[in-house]
Structures are given as C-alpha cells and as structure tokens.
Amino acid sequence: MATPARIALEPWTDDDLDLLRQANAPEMTVHLGGPETDEQVLARHKRYVEGDTYQGQMFSVRLLPGREPVGTVGYWEKEWQGETVYEVGWGVLPAYQGRGIAAAATAAVVEHTRADGGRRYVHAFPSVQNAASNAVCRKVGFTFMTEVDFEYPPGTLLRCNDWRLDLTTG
C-alpha cells in the first residue's frame, strides 16, 4: 500500500502567484472551461491574498518535508438548495498528481471547514468527466448526491457531480 502524501496547507500569500499561474494551464483547467486570461488570474490572486473568498480561505498545498508548492485547495460559502454550505475545490500540478496529494489536501481543508463551524455540510462539484476529482471525493468520505448543471465560467454549461460531506459526523 502506498504511503499517504505528507502535505501542509499554508494560507495564500503574494508569493503564491506563480503557483496560480502554473495551475492555469490547459491540462489543469480542462474540466473548468479552460485557462483564464492573465488579468483574470491576477484578479483571482488578489481576492485570495485579501481573503475575499466568500467566508472561506484559500491555501497553497506544500509537499513535506521541503514545503515545495504543488497545488491549491480552498473553501468558501455557497448558497445551495436554500441553505448556506461550504464548497471545496482543489488542484494539484500535473507532475505531482497520482500521489494522494489532492485527497490529503481536501481532507485537511475539510478539517478547516469543521473548525470554522456554522455550516453542517461541505460540497464538492467536480465535472462528471473528471474521474480523478470524483475519486478524491469518494476517498475523503463525501457522499454522492446527484448530477447538476452549472454555468462556469459564465457562458459555459458544466455537468457536475454534487458530493456532500456532513461536518457533524466523523
């Protein structure tokens, strides 16, 4: 059995702009409507640095022991089916995929949502075609709810799976 990835989450800082640019590659955004413009990346980075993530937080994912930046993970509040929930999202750079890093980072950010309190559920909405992200949801303990349609980015219809984790259990 593979050894679980050892990672650390670090709050987003100005120094993480290069990581966000690396994550904006076509292979990283294929299930998200494609890469953003540099202007959009800079605006996203500014929101992350300023903590403007809708009552949540973004983190850089660091591989231990050297703390090399290998991905992103975060959570934010979302209105979903008449209630406010947390939504989580993640990405791991291609050279580091397949090592359990995304699952470790997602599990760690779920603990942040649990510590934040105030919300019963955390959801993830990976594309139905994104087998790796759907596998992360299963591995972390999310329950599959249903398929849903989202417009993301604006003008692009995205078919997603709605995965939910109850923060009051476990």
Instruction: Please check whether residue 92 is in contact with residue 101, taking contact to mean a CB–CB distance below 8 angstroms.
Output: yes
Categorize the per-residue pLDDT at 157 as very low, low, confident or very high, splitting at 50, 70 and 90: confident
How many C-beta atoms surround the C-beta of residue 153 within 10 A?
Answer: 13
Number of domains in the chain: 1
pLDDT tens column, 33-71: 888 999 999 998 998 998 765 678 999 999 999 999 999
Q: Note down the domain range covering 82.
A: 7-166
At 170, the pLDDT band (50, 70, 90 cuts) reads low
* DSSP secondary structure letter of residue 14: G
Residue 1 placed within a domain: no
In what helix (H) or strand (E) does residue 162 lie, and over which residues does it extend?
A: strand 157-166
Name the pairing type of β-strands 121-124 and 157-166.
antiparallel
- Is residue 18 one of the residues assigned to a domain? yes
pLDDT confidence of residue 3 = 57
What is the per-residue pLDDT across 76-135, written as a single tens digit (0 to 9) for each? 999 999 999 999 999 999 999 999 999 999 999 999 999 888 899 999 999 999 999 999
Look at 32 and 94; give whichever has higher pLDDT. Answer: 94
| Any domain includes 145 | yes
CA distance 140 to 107: 6
Is residue 148 in some structural domain? yes
pLDDT confidence of residue 53 = 59
Kindly state whether residue 133 falls inside one of the protein's structural domains: yes
By the 8 A CB rule, do 5 and 63 touch?
yes
CATH of the domain at 149: 3.40.630.30
Give dist(CA 60, CA 11) in Å, integer.
6
CA gap 87, 83 in Å, rounded: 12
Instruction: Burial-class residue 27 by CB neighbours within 10 Å (0-12, 13-18, 19+).
Output: exposed
Paired strand residues for 148? 160
Q: Examine residue 2 and state whether it is found in any structural domain, yes or no.
A: no
Per-residue pLDDT, 154? 77
Q: What's the pTM value of the predicted model, to 2 decimals?
A: 0.92
